[in-house]
Amino acid sequence: MMRPSLLAGVVIAGVTASTLAGAAPAGLTVTDMLAMQRVEDPVPSPDGKWLAFAVRETDMDANRGRFDLWLAAADGSSVTRLTTSPDNDSDPAWSRDGKWVYFLSARGGTSEVWRIAPAGGEAEQVTHVPVDVGGFKLFPDGKHLLLAAEVWPDAKTLADSVKHDAEKAKSKSHARVYDQLLFRHWDQWEDGKFSHLFVWTAPDAGGKADAARDLTPGATTDTPTHPFGGMDDVDIAPDGKSVAYMQRVGGREAAWTTNIDVFEVATAGGAPVNLTAANKAYDFSPLYSPDGKTLAVRSMARPGFEGDRLRISLIDRATKKTRTIADAWDRSADNLTWSADGKTLFTTADNVGNHSLFAIDVATGTAKVLLDKGTAHGPALAGDRLVFGHDTLTQPAEIWSVKADGSDLRQVTHFNDVRAKGIAWGGYEQFSFKGAHGDTVYGFAIKPANWDGHAKAPVAFLIHGGPQGSFGDHFHYRWNAEAFAGHGYATIMIDFHGSTGYGQAFTDAIRDDWGGAPYEDLMAGLDAAIAKYPWMDGKRTVALGASYGGYMINWINGKTDRFKALVVHDSNLDERMAYYDTEELWFPEWEHGGVPWEKPDGYTKSNPIDLVKNWKTPTLVIHGGLDFRVVETQGISTFTALQRKGVPSRFLEFPDENHWVVKPLDSKLWHEEVLAWIDRWSGSKK
């Protein structure tokens, strides 16, 4: 039934030239990194024997990534490509009988739902709607689909929404008019359209090809196709009679509140019911239990704080009562998966420099670590095993599996094995030291690739963003520590106060102290690493950071001249003005204790602009033109200050990138510019 595996040929296509020629392996380069195939999280078939998943390959000529669907036996015995398309094929979902793999594709010009038999063959288009489908889920009966689509809230039908689009396109004026925030978000200006959920009925079940019934008519919500959301925040009850989804509430207050609630609506229609109205903070990712009696939700407790601990809440659908489980487990739960008997919830969470896999006992709330090290993501149940994505600093993501008790760990896919073996990786280890407040703080130290055991290497000091985030044991495609190690740098990453995975109190410690404890941790961690590792040259150190990490670079420039060079990416120079520039106001209001006209001290306590007089370190400034979170004028202001003071500096601007640099050719240029800059000032010759 299955075609022969194509995996071997795919892997060999990405082997480095030096490996094929028999030369000694070189360290990781940006070219190597972009050549890696990015394996998405697995979706098991109903019988648990097969896994459907998307794989991203980089198309340098088109300057983009391209996704195709693959199929693997859950035991790893067979891997085969399901689709080959010039358009992205993504988001696989199995029919209940296992005869079809449904997926999202733009093959017909608009994004629609398609399907293909797991045995292969030609894909066939399922939906024929006049708007782009942003996401979908299958109803249990196999005759209906739940679709997400951006539409005009006053449109009665999808055709009405398309008509409104056409009328707007005819206008020769492109002026925008707004009456309230949020008027732009992340990297897009709001256009008045919102994401709605639709029930689509298959034509052979009495539906029309282009017909879809709006489950949320008139709703003005930016979910589920919000930049940070998706169909993971939507679920269909096992009996197909109800749909749960998340929706922002608050109207004009949406820019300064974090009140997102979970709603439930009958599939037959009717008024949605707010299930989490009592909680004025975030509620995410509703997930029905296998018996349909319980709805699991990830919830924060403190309104206005996006970095609060994500607790697991269980809503009894009969009584509407909510209880929190695993409250003693001081970690933030990522997306959830129920066990077949409903007695266990599986999840992943940041955990002391790793992103570990956990099993949570629903009755007792006891949390058990199933896989500690590295970065696990997207766990799903396949028979009696869990399948999930997993990566480390030296291993790009592959699919792995483990028994539900944490035993018998196995690697399922091997897309990048040969590529990885052709690279000289910098060895790494986690270390700890005493940081601010006398607390134990953790970091990672990475040796330069092909270190000869004698010469000291210049040091690249990487500072993560967030600030509620972590630089840990993870194969990152934007801030990859091994790319610096591959270029000859000893590399250090510190999870300072404010980082996640060390308990909520540690995360909370950064509030109203952006330039205090985190700076102390970073300097102490750098000192500890240089003292501990003889291969680090403490006299040739450079520091680099983005977002909050970029803020810290600007702060460092005014606090110390110990670094030979700095790289600052998408960062704030002036916390006061940044408040008025950004879109999600709840973030600075929480971090700095209120609004700046009432709590000015919170915005001036650790403000880099007030230390510009001390700046003297050569600095490369990088910014994305579409970054509406940290607005480009902040980067321009940073460069202006450096230039006016006569500090050696360079400005790299990406007009069509947002807070991240994601286009392959832009990523390549980013690495070339960054490495050339730090080489120049650290005295390294490449």
Active site residues: 547, 627, 659
What are the contacts of 657-661 at 24+ separation with CB within 8 A?
A: 657/624, 657/625, 657/626, 657/627, 658/186, 658/187, 658/624, 658/626, 658/627, 658/628, 658/629, 659/186, 659/187, 659/547, 659/570, 659/624, 659/627, 659/629, 659/630, 660/478, 660/624, 661/478, 661/622, 661/624
Pairing between strand 242-248 and 619-624? unpaired
Phi, psi of 211, deg, nearest 5? -95, 140
Q: 203: which residues sit within 8 A by CB, 6+ positions away? A: 209
CA-angle at 295, arms to 216 and 376, nearest 5°: 105
Q: Is the dihedral of CA 222, 223, 224, 229 positive or negative?
A: positive
Compute how many other C-beta atoms are within 10 angstroms of the C-beta atom of residue 261: 23
The kind and range of the H/E element at 552 are helix 548-559
- Alpha-carbon distance 182 to 250, whole Å? 11
Residue 557's Cβ-count burial label (10 Å; 0-12, 13-18, 19+) is: buried
Q: Are 557 and 614 in contact (CB under 8 A)?
A: yes
Tokens representing residue 155 in the block: 């449109």
Q: Which amino acid is at 448?
A: P
Closest C-alpha among 101, 216, 105 to residue 151: 216
- Alpha-carbon distance 28 to 12, whole Å? 17
Q: Is the dihedral of CA 73, 74, 79, 80 positive or negative?
A: positive
- Alpha-carbon distance 57 to 52, whole Å? 16
Compute how many other C-beta atoms are within 10 angstroms of the C-beta atom of residue 174: 6
- Say if residue 467 is preceded by a cis peptide, omega within 30 of 0: yes
Distances (CA, A) of 126 to 60, 86, 407: 31, 19, 40
Distances (CA, A) of 660 to 192, 472, 569, 629: 25, 19, 9, 11
Residue 169's Cβ-count burial label (10 Å; 0-12, 13-18, 19+) is: exposed
Tokens representing residue 647 in the block: 């500090």
